[in-house]
Structures are given as structure tokens and as C-alpha cells.
Structure 1
Amino acid sequence: MFDLPVTPIDQDAPLGRRDLRKQQTRAALTGAALRLCSLRGFDQVTVDDISGEAGVSSRTFFNYFASKEDAVLGDHLVEVDAMRARLAVLLPTMPVLEAIRRAVLLPVAAMEADRDHWFLRMEIIKHSPQLLPRLVLSNAEAERATTEQIAAHLGVDPATHVYPALVVATTSAAFRVAATGWMAAAGARSLGALVDRAFTALAAGLPDPD
């Protein structure tokens, strides 16, 4: 089970007033992008619309995001970086699969804390196929970096050894399946419990269900 407490990487460095304001502005822009795209459709929303909804200028928008696609998709890679930092702490202390399972607590906690935005985000993606290439590319980059991290930990070459890429691909798939079930149930089931169930099945070798 997910029984390891999660310690935020920067818990001893509280945000200063300027950093807090920047975090709030980024969150306001993301929220505005998701609300407007959910209501009007992705193609019917502009950067100016998002900026106006968030109460900032378009110039300010581009201080935070390169495009409206980035505003809709959010800080996915930031969350992945935090997960990989956690993974680096865990890998020396336990088997790889268990380390990944526990490191995944970070994105699980972030998604459950921001569930309304995540449900909007996935609904927008479902109706906006033009977002898929960006999402696929970012996921592939995250998987590549994690594969290299695990290969380095094991002391193997990721180009010739199948294990690092295989464990990353299968755990990523398990996470996506759990997240899809969570969203399909509109959050009625705990994402953490669904991820735990998926990882337990992986660890058991994916036996046939009873």
C-alpha cells in the first residue's frame, strides 16, 4: 500500500512573497485557460481571452507559458521532475518497482488536490486531438529521462538492456489506466487506491482476476 509519507522536496524553503505571487498568477492563467476552453472549445479561445479572464496582460501570459497549449496542459513536466527527485532518494533503499510505486505518490497527490482542473483538462484533451502530439511528446520525454535514471542506478546500458525501458513503460501504463478509471468515476474512487491496485497487479505478474 502507499504507506510512505511524502516529504516535499522544498518543505524547508517556504515561498517568498514574490514567488507566491508568481505561483498564484500561473495558477490563475491555468484555471482561466481550462474554464474557457471547456466552455468554448480549445480552438475558440485565444491567449488574449485567457489573459483577460485571469486579469493580466498577454505579455504577462508569455512570462509563464509559451502557448495556450502549455497553459491547458499545465505543469506536467514540473511534477515529473519532482517525482524523479523522489525516485532518486528511494532507489537505493528498495527494488525498482516499489521505488516507482512510492515516487508516484507525488503526481497522485497533486492530481487529487487539483482534481477539478484535471477533470476539465482531460475533457478538453478528449475533444481537442490537436493537443495529443504535445502530450505524447512530453510523456515520451518524461519516460526517456526516467529510463536513463533507472539504468544509471542499475549500472546498465538503456540502449541494450530491456529492463529500464520496460519497467518505465509498464508502470506508466498502469498509472494511465488508474487515472482513466479515476476520471471515468468522476473522482468517486481514490486515485491513490486505483494506482495501488494497478501496481499490485504488476508486482504479482498480472495474474488472471478471480
Structure 2
Amino acid sequence: MGAGLGTTTDGSVDAPDGTTDRRERRRQRTREDIAREALRLAVERGYDNVTVEEIAEAADIAPRTFFRYFPRKDDLLFVDHDGQLERLREALADRPDDEPVLVSIREAVLEVVEEAEIDPDRTRLKRQLIEQTPSLKAQASLRQRDWYDVLAGAVGRHLAVDPDEDLRPRVIAAAIVGALQISIDRWSQLPDGDLRAKVTDAIDLLDGISGLRTG
């Protein structure tokens, strides 16, 4: 047996005292702090009127440090994207094998999107900024494809087909992503909306497509 060293998810070796974990947590906190300051400034002045230098100053970092955390300014409002995708994959993997695939997808998606209700005002502000800013809308569309790919893979596994060969997984995944997008957009426009209920209702509308069912 080894001396207690473990390999982290990125392939690096984690020290016994958790140094790598602490470093990654600090890095994530810094990313979130920068993103929070960027959102505040964008709400106050308009997204296109805020510079990287101003964001860096508000976050108390050097402009060059900014680019260690975000390759582009347009990445700022999507700081949680990779974490959400990972949670979606994990939630899908944890669902029972004999469960209807649409139920598995609905419950996995709900685990991820309900985090938006932890700070609903911040989530709504981000949605509004994205809708008002063409460059952010373009970035949002690109990131939706990541969700689409994960969901298409889940449907493909359920149907025992290759999503690159069979149209059904990608068509169904596109419908699910569309339903999710519409439900989040509707929720973001309502001060007292129930996001979980809207997502559930939207996905359940797909019941019966290609043999899928929600219960």
C-alpha cells in the first residue's frame, strides 16, 4: 500500500494534509468573488459598459490575475457551468437502472436547477443580463450544447443506441433542453415563481415521446 497519497480528478496528486483540495477551494472562491463583483457592476452600469480592469479592481485583484480565472469577460456569468454539468452527470448515474429515462432526467435536472432557488434574485439578474447582451446570449447557446450532449448520451444509453447514429436521443435531448430553457425563462420573469414546479411541468409535457414516460 502507498503512504496515503491520492489522485485528484484532474490527475494531480493530493497531499495527505489536503493541500490540493484547499487550494482548489480557494481558487473556486476567488472565481465566485470575481463573478459576483462583475454581476454587481453589470447591473449598475450595463454589461458592455464594464471593463475587465474595473472588475479586477472591484475584486481586489490585478487585471492579469483575472485572466488566470476567466479566459474571456463573457465567461464570467457562467462560472457555475462546469459544476452544474458534473452534478447532472452524477445525478443521472445515481438514478435506478429500471427507472423510465424521462423520470431519471427530470429528477436529475431538478437536482441541478433547484440550486438556482438558493439565491433567486442573483439567478434572475444573470438571466436578464444574458437576454439583454448578444455576446452573452451566444455564450449561453454554446453552453446549452453541453447539456444537450449529456442528456443525449443518457437517452442513448436507455434506448441502447448510438446518439451519433440514431436520431432519437438528440431529438429528445433537444426537446428536454428546450423545455428546461422555457421553464427557466418563465420563472425568471416571476418574482414568486416555483422553479421546481415549472421544470417538472415542462419536462412532463414530453411524456409519451418515442416510448418515454414520466411515471
1:77 equivalent in structure 2? 82
Between the aligned partners of 2:178 and 2:135, the Cα distance in structure 1 is: 22
- The alignment partner of 1:92 has SS state of coil
1:200 maps to which of 200, 204, 210: 204
Show structure 1 runs of 5+ residues with no match. Answer: 1-12, 206-210
Establish whether residue 189 from structure 1 lines up as the match of residue 207 from structure 2.
Answer: no
- TM-superposed CA distance for 1:16, in Å, is 5.0
2:174 equivalent in structure 1? 169
Contact 1:86 1:103 in 2 (8 A): yes
Show structure 2 runs of 5+ residues with no match. Answer: 1-17, 210-215
Contact 1:47 1:67 in 2 (8 A): no
More RCO (CA 8 Å, sep 6+): 1
2:54 equivalent in structure 1? 49
Amino acid at match of 1:62: F
Amino acid at match of 2:201: R
Between the aligned partners of 2:146 and 2:25, the Cα distance in structure 1 is: 28
User: Deviation above 4 Å: which 4+ runs of structure 1?
Assistant: none
**Larger CA deviation: 118-127 vs 15-24:** 15-24
- The alignment partner of 1:106 has SS state of helix
Amino acid at match of 2:74: E
Q: Cα gap change, 1:65/1:106 in structure 2, threshold over 3 Å: closer, same or farther?
A: farther
2:156 maps to which of 147, 151, 159: 151
2:10 equivalent in structure 1? none
Q: CA RMSD in A?
A: 2.2
Q: Cα gap change, 1:122/1:27 in structure 2, threshold over 3 Å: closer, same or farther?
A: same
Contact 1:38 1:123 in 2 (8 A): no
1:112 maps to which of 101, 113, 117: 117
Between the aligned partners of 2:94 and 2:75, the Cα distance in structure 1 is: 29
Amino acid at match of 2:203: F
- TM-superposed CA distance for 1:145, in Å, is 3.5
Contact 1:179 1:195 in 2 (8 A): yes
1:102 equivalent in structure 2? 107
Amino acid at match of 2:135: Q
- Percentage of matched positions with identical amino acids: 32
- TM-superposed CA distance for 1:67, in Å, is 1.2
Contact 1:31 1:117 in 2 (8 A): no
Contact 2:156 2:163 in 1 (8 A): yes
- TM-superposed CA distance for 1:91, in Å, is 5.7
- TM-superposed CA distance for 1:129, in Å, is 1.1
The structure that has the greater radius of gyration is 2
Q: Cα gap change, 1:172/1:109 in structure 2, threshold over 3 Å: closer, same or farther?
A: same
